[in-house]
Amino acid sequence: MDDLRDKYIALIADAADEASIEDLRVQAVGKKGEIALKMRELGKMTPEERQVMGPKLNALKDEINSALSAKKASLADAALEERLRSEWLDVTLPGRGRRQGSIHPISQVTEEVSAIFADMGFAVAEGPQIETDWYNFDALNIPGHHPARAEMDTFYTHRAEGDNRPPHVLRTHTSPVQIRSMEKIGAPIRIICPGRVYRADYDQTHTPMFHQVEGLAIDKDISMANLKWVLEEFFTAFFGTSVKTRFRASHFPFTEPSAEVDIQCSWENGSVKVGEGDDWLEVLGSGMVHPKVLAAGGIDPNEWQGFAFGIGIDRLAMLKYGIPDLRAFFDADLRWLRHYGFASLDQPTLHGGLTR
Ligand code: PHE
């Protein structure tokens, strides 16, 4: 019995996990375990021997059982300790910084422009960047032979051999959205349409893709005076200072009369300041919507009239934020983006302020 006892106490002490404890339990005190075998031998003993051995065997069984449960508990404790150690977290460590993107000046200015015109009752409209030649040209009173088509350096899409339909174009201006809005809304209309436009041109002041915002107001008695007021109101809000405008007679096939609009500026050693001085900078084309254009959009030119304008957004961004080279806008240079970009929470509103 002493051998049995020493053997199991040692084995239990060495057990590495709960499974080996269970094996030992079956071997020692299970129904067919070593103690049970010993118990069976009691039957062959004399009553005197049995009286001594019986309680001894029971005591041994109890001793082994309690060694087993003590070991089991200490293994569970050790496992918990180990988990606590391995899952330990230092909450005092400084956080890992996350790279933050910024809002591109074009997006920022688009939001600013939209906020200002929204305040004057203009809704934002959109149209596709790949246009039919009807919306981009014909409906705007630019027929096939018109020199304006050639002047615009249009990108044409490819048609399959034998397909004689006129090719789609990358829109050369946002003016096709005038027609789409007339068809969709009918008169009266007050919309702006900011968006991308495309022309095959590339130098310091031209990129093959750039941005315009179209404006269109149609009603019963809209005149050039309304156009001038709206534009001056816009520039003053946008630049945060009163800005004089100069209307120069011009020509666009889709407006009559037409005017190019300059804003007052000054040049000081190579950089431009808006709203002061006696130089002028061209920023947009505009005019009274041509009757043929109204008709193409399904609006009766005998009943309705209106003005339209197209402003270069990129130019506005360069002027307001002192960005010298247009091409850098589209180089995706992270250093440039971090320098000229805006924080994502700086959403421009008229009341919250348009600039940082
Ligand atoms: N679509 C003209 C351009 O891209 C601008 C314009 C718009 C002129 C509306 C008059 C009216 O140059």
Write out pLDDT tens, residues 54-81.
899 899 999 999 999 999 999 999 989 9
Cβ–ligand 1 contact at 297 (below 6 Å): no
Ligand 1 atom nearest the C-alpha of 178 is 9
Ligand 1 atom nearest the C-alpha of 289 is 11
- Whole-number Å distance, alpha carbon 104 to ligand 1 midpoint, is 24
- Whole-number Å distance, alpha carbon 244 to ligand 1 midpoint, is 20
Cβ–ligand 1 contact at 287 (below 6 Å): yes
Residue closest by Cα to atom 4 of ligand 1: 173
pLDDT at 127: 97
What is the rounded distance in angstroms from the CA atom of residue 317 to the CA atom of residue 110?
9
Cβ–ligand 1 contact at 318 (below 6 Å): no
More confident position, 129 or 100: 129
Q: Is the pLDDT of residue 322 over 90?
A: no
pLDDT at 256: 96
State mean pLDDT over 283-304.
97
Range of weakest confidence among 39-43, 64-68, 270-274, 306-310: 270-274
Grade residue 351 by pLDDT with cuts at 50, 70 and 90: low
Q: Is the pLDDT of residue 151 over 60?
A: yes
pLDDT at 263: 92
Q: What Å distances lie between residue 295 and 89, 252, 278, 343, CA to CA?
A: 72, 17, 41, 44
State mean pLDDT over 125-132.
97
pLDDT digit string (tens) for 219-272?
A: 999 999 999 999 999 999 999 988 889 999 999 999 999 999 999 988 887 777
State mean pLDDT over 94-120.
92
What is the rounded distance in angstroms from the CA atom of residue 288 to the CA atom of residue 308?
6
- The pick from 173, 262, 305, 307 for probing ligand 1's pocket by mutation, whose C-beta has the most ligand atoms within 8 angstroms, reads 173
Cβ–ligand 1 contact at 283 (below 6 Å): no
pLDDT at 130: 97
- The pick from 254, 260, 282 for probing ligand 1's pocket by mutation, whose C-beta has the most ligand atoms within 8 angstroms, reads 254
pLDDT at 352: 63
pLDDT at 164: 87
- Whole-number Å distance, alpha carbon 191 to ligand 1 midpoint, is 15
Grade residue 138 by pLDDT with cuts at 50, 70 and 90: very high
What percentage of the chain carries pLDDT values higher than 70? 97
State mean pLDDT over 333-354.
80
pLDDT at 117: 97
Cβ–ligand 1 contact at 348 (below 6 Å): no
Cβ–ligand 1 contact at 308 (below 6 Å): yes
Cβ–ligand 1 contact at 307 (below 6 Å): no
Ligand 1 atom nearest the C-alpha of 175 is 1
pLDDT at 341: 93
Cβ–ligand 1 contact at 285 (below 6 Å): yes
In sequence order, the 6+-apart residues with CB closer than 8 A to the CB of 14 are: none
Q: Is the pLDDT of residue 355 over 60?
A: no
pLDDT at 356: 44
- Whole-number Å distance, alpha carbon 173 to ligand 1 midpoint, is 7
What percentage of the chain carries pLDDT values higher than 90? 65
Cβ–ligand 1 contact at 255 (below 6 Å): yes
Cβ–ligand 1 contact at 305 (below 6 Å): no
State mean pLDDT over 312-327.
90
Ligand 1 atom nearest the C-alpha of 310 is 7
Average pLDDT, the chain: 91
Q: Is the pLDDT of residue 276 over 90?
A: no
pLDDT at 204: 77
Q: Is the pLDDT of residue 148 over 80?
A: no
- Whole-number Å distance, alpha carbon 180 to ligand 1 midpoint, is 15
Grade residue 43 by pLDDT with cuts at 50, 70 and 90: confident
pLDDT digit string (tens) for 171-196?
A: 999 999 999 999 999 999 999 999 99
